[in-house]
């Protein structure tokens, strides 16, 4: 597969996610995003890239410290079917942090956490399927 990085003005955009277990995080995030996990690179890093090769790389970085506070930056996963996507991602090992969807200006979302406690949101734009 040919790698086509996602550019920003002066280079390549990469998102880095801290984790305690590279293999567990690679399985989770590759499954959640539909990305392919590269072979462990050594030095506490593991790369995930879109299966097509084109797009933003997610770089997992193994860290020794535990997460203690809310993330100041997080990923949003936008989907047409909130309930189905939340269910799928929970099956990969995420934790649900909201008991009911948050609703704002027609948007609906849940806050979840990956196996290391990093928060992210699954959102449904206005006009998606009605809640069950």
CB burial of residue 96 (10 Å; 0-12, 13-18, 19+): middle
- In the chain, list all ranges with CATH 3.10.180.10: 4-62, 75-124
Bridge partners (DSSP) of residue 109 are: 102, 123
H or E element in which residue 109 lies: strand 107-113
Q: How many CA atoms lie within 13 A of 1 on its CB side?
A: 14
Residue 132: the pLDDT is: 61
Residue 9 has pLDDT above 80, yes or no: yes
pTM: predicted TM-score of the whole model, two decimal places: 0.87
Please report which residue ranges of the chain form alpha helices under DSSP H. 22-33, 82-91
Q: What topology does CATH give the domain 4-62?
A: 2,3-Dihydroxybiphenyl 1,2-Dioxygenase; domain 1 (3.10.180)
In terms of Cα–Cα distance, which of 118, 6, 132 is closest to 66?
Answer: 118
Q: What percent of the chain has pLDDT over 90?
A: 76
Over the stretch 55-82, which tens digit does the pLDDT of each residue have? Answer: 999 999 999 888 788 888 899 999 999 9
> Domain 75-124 has what CATH class?
alpha beta
- Cα 46 from chain centre: 14
Q: How many residues does the chain have?
A: 132
């Amino acid at each position: 597969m040919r790698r086509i990085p996602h550019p920003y003005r002066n280079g390549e955009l990469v998102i880095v996610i801290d984790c305690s277990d590279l293999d567990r995080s690679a399985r989770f995030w590759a499954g959640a995003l539909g990305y392919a996990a590269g072979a462990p690179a050594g030095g506490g890093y593991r790369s995930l890239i879109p299966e097509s090769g084109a797009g933003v790389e997610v770089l997992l970085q193994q860290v020794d410290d535990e997460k203690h506070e809310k993330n100041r930056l997080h990923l949003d996963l936008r989907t047409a079917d909130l309930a189905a996507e939340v269910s799928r991602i929970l099956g990969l090992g995420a934790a649900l942090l909201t008991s009911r969807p948050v609703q704002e200006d027609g948007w609906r979302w849940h806050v979840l956490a990956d196996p290391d406690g990093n928060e992210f949101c699954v959102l449904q734009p206005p006009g998606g399927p009605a809640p069950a």
